[in-house]
Amino acid sequence: MHYSQLLHVLLSAVLALHATTVTASPIRAPDVEDGVGASALGKRATIELYHVTTAASAATIHSGGVKLQVKPTIGDDFNPKGKGGFYVSDNKAGILDWCKKRQVDANNVKTNCADLITFKFDESALTSLKVHKFGPATLSSATVNTWMDTPDFEQWTEFTTFCTHGSQGDEEVKLDADLENGGNGLDLIIGPMVGTETVRQYAFRTTKALGHLTIESVTKTGL
């Protein structure tokens, strides 16, 4: 066999192996190591998530663990009224700024934004949970402006309107099947916060999902 023919056979074999189909997980966890950077082979992908609250609530969570918070009369961004949830963010500075701005006066800020709870979340859990994710991978003014021209933004708008007001703003927009009826059956919803679209939040909606949150620390915010 000539050298060129042998090379052709070897190249064909390599291409055949490369073309082998690989099934990807439905949501790819970003490569992280200790919260930042690329993960080394075999290391679990973990990120830090943050929850800001009163000192009393932080103490209760620290001693008794996280529980679903049910609001019987009003809804949140990703939970209709009466549906329990627990909200955290991957943006520490953003969530502190959000808490500070939403308070009526300085006394409310000092009370309601007193403590910051830092959690560790193993993102490999996303493959075992029922998850819906809204928004671009990286949130910034530029990416959010681009996202606003997509069907995903329309879905986000209608779903958050349904959760907070009890009905969609535009009933002609058909929500994805997993978002119908307020997203019943979903363990976790990830997406931008209403009014602070450059801050991403994670709405844990089941005890199964909460089981993947581990408290790392409770610190004073200084607000």
Q: Per residue in 86-119, pLDDT tens?
A: 999 999 999 999 998 888 777 787 888 999 999 9
Q: Rounded to two decimals, what is the model's pTM?
A: 0.78
Q: Per residue in 12-61, pLDDT tens?
A: 333 333 333 333 333 333 333 333 333 333 455 899 999 999 999 999 99
Q: Which of 87, 90, 205 is nearest to 139 (CA)?
A: 90
128 and 33 in contact (C-beta within 8 Å)?
Answer: no
Say what the alpha-carbon torsion angle 213, 195, 79, 93 is, to the nearest 10 degrees. 10
DSSP line for 79-123: B-TT--BEEEES-HHHHHHHHHHHSSSHHHHHHHTSEEEEEEEEG
Q: Per residue in 116-143, pLDDT tens?
A: 999 999 988 899 999 999 999 999 999 9
pLDDT in the model for residue 154: 96
